[in-house]
A and B are shown apart, each in its own frame.
Chain A
């Protein structure tokens, strides 16, 4: 009798375990959330055989794919980006809200062939329009003029590829020559401070520009992405800015308050009540700065920011970032007895920029563009399927 009981128990246990494991593998895993740490890597290859054939040559080591977001990063120093990048291009990049995606490495992309790419994309869009793909047109006679330009001066290391800016202008049939044409769609590809091990391990034919931002009609975005996918055998995916990355942006921006006032630190949380409760938590900039300085482990900060932070020595650790966030949450809890951790952080914004969980991002001040883009490049690289 006892033996039957034991056997029954063990069968039950096995069935239980199988149920849970099967359940886990049955749930579709598409986007890997950045802060989930995975020991085993069984990512699905979601692009075509072009890259698959190269797989054998890549020789990925487990260390590369077990990457996590950096736990420590350089504090934003004064960046002389305004001197290095063409101001016209810089003006196009700031003050617009971009929808971010990650892109897998581009096969046989040549920075020297930009004019030819512009022509090809133009033809592709015209063909797409003819086929009746959803493109918002101002009039039936609208044609599109595409331009690809090189944005020089943004790269930070030797491994970074030069950034590319894509713009689509609509050509009205009877437009005057001197009318300044605002692009109806813009997008850019960039790689700032990309992980050097990853970049060096890529085969020669591939160019890595993992971060893609676009702004404009959805139909045009889809067309541009499919042209890239077709021409360079790459894959696009939505880049969600995770909770950790949003916290990093908060800390990095607050850290700049001494040099350029952030004017406010605003966080938008959503709590899962029925109906959903939105909490907009705006902190006075001076107080945010003081709180941030108090959690920095005895490095700089305080004294009204008279000391310049020496580039290369001032690093921010993840613990400081989490303490900062914890301080803000506990102040909130002390008053409302509502735990913000029960909800999700949707948006962070200061006068320097804003970032949303859905992957929308805006940079309002070009001085801190490099730091923000470094963080986002890292997020994009972590999303690479292999």
Chain B
């Protein structure tokens, strides 16, 4: 095994945690049963790496086979690293009829035309997703397998998700994608996050949508134990009224953000460049320049937090379009200006 293969294996072993290593190796299928049995997973990572190095030398495995292992690991654990979503625009007439084989051939040939030395691996996953691994090289150097780019494209949809790509590589990739999928352009979808599953579900709306209906969702069971003393003084009318308001809020919250389990989006960034408008502050209201600020929302499950804010009253309902835009448009980076809606901007709120 040459040096680059050794380094790749060492890097892989650092990246793959021991619990998932066993299943990854089984899926890989390059180890014989005895070799598999000889791997003692209770040992330290270093010892395992040494053992695996030995096995790979025995089996005369090279970089090509090791990249298979890496791909298996990444496909099974997609929620790592930063993923960026892109959207293909303006389909040609035959965009819908592009099938897997055609896409694979076209993509490989186009990318090889653009980049001299590139290593491409494509794999179709069960859920209609095509996974692509690219190791970039150039005229003078061999493909660098230590910094590969991963791309996920769902055939028949205009969505592409990319991780670990530099600004130099981006236009090359865009060109290859556009040509092979028979679209005319590709643009940044302004959606990014650590969890691929979350941003994919958000963009492709793979969660429960709630639509306006005559029959609102019943409010959750009230678990609060009300003191017996206070109960004497509660008016039944007030209780009923509050319950109705709560149900209304919950309905609007679910319409804006969805019902049931929501994709685990973790952050949203708003760059605000709107004018400051406040009745009580004349000086600032008369100011011509916009008030620039950046607001970042973070949470372990952002959409869930927003829905809870709306249903509990922390956020006023009806939910402002700025927040409901996240699930509606499937994006989490916004540039808000006072001008009319543009390609990447939104209209600011009208004066209250």
Contact = CB atoms under 8 A, between A and B. Distances in A.
Interface of A: 15-16, 19, 271-284, 287, 290-291, 293-295, 323, 326-327, 330-332, 334-339, 342-343
Contact of A335 (B278, B298, B336): B336
Which are the 4 A-B pairs with shortest beta-carbon distances? A294-B283, A284-B292, A277-B305, A273-B305
A335 B349 contact: yes
Contact of B229 (A19, A276, A332): A19
A284 B294 CA distance: 8
A273 B306 contact: yes
13 contacts: A271-B305, A271-B309, A273-B304, A274-B305, A280-B294, A287-B292, A291-B281, A323-B281, A331-B276, A335-B274, A335-B349, A337-B319, A338-B309
B277 A277 contact: no
A336 B323 contact: yes
A273 B348 CA distance: 25
A295 B298 CA distance: 30
B287 interface: yes
Interface of B: 229, 270, 272, 274, 276-278, 280-281, 283-284, 287, 289, 291-302, 304-306, 308-309, 312, 314-316, 319-320, 322-323, 336, 348-349, 352
A294 B299 CA distance: 34
A335 B272 contact: yes
Contacts of A327: 276, 278, 281, 284
Contact of A291 (B280, B291, B312, B316): B291
Contacts of B229: 15-16, 19
Given A276-B299, A280-B298, A326-B280, 18 more contacts: A271-B314, A273-B299, A273-B304, A273-B314, A277-B302, A277-B309, A279-B297, A280-B294, A280-B295, A282-B293, A282-B295, A290-B284, A327-B278, A327-B281, A335-B348, A336-B315, A336-B322, A336-B323
A358 B272 CA distance: 29
Contacts of A337: 315-316, 319-320, 323
A282 B302 CA distance: 19
A334 B272 CA distance: 11
Contact of B299 (A277, A287, A343): A277
A23 to B, nearest CB: 10
Nearest to B277: A334
B347 to A, nearest CB: 11
Given A294-B284, A339-B314, A334 B293 contact: no
Nearest to A271: B314
Contacts of B306: 273, 277
B223 to A, nearest CB: 13
A200 to B, nearest CB: 42
A82 to B, nearest CB: 33
Contacts of B305: 271, 273-277
A342 B300 CA distance: 19
A278 B349 contact: no
A287 B288 CA distance: 12
Contacts of A283: 291-293
A287 B352 contact: no
Query: Quick one: which of A275, A330, A338 has the most chain B CB within 10 A?
Result: A338
A334 B352 contact: yes
A287 B284 CA distance: 9
A83 to B, nearest CB: 37
Nearest to B287: A290
B298 A278 contact: yes
B219 to A, nearest CB: 15
A343 B280 CA distance: 23
Contacts of A326: 280
Contacts of A331: 276, 278, 291, 293
A64 B23 CA distance: 70
Contacts of B323: 336-338
B148 to A, nearest CB: 32
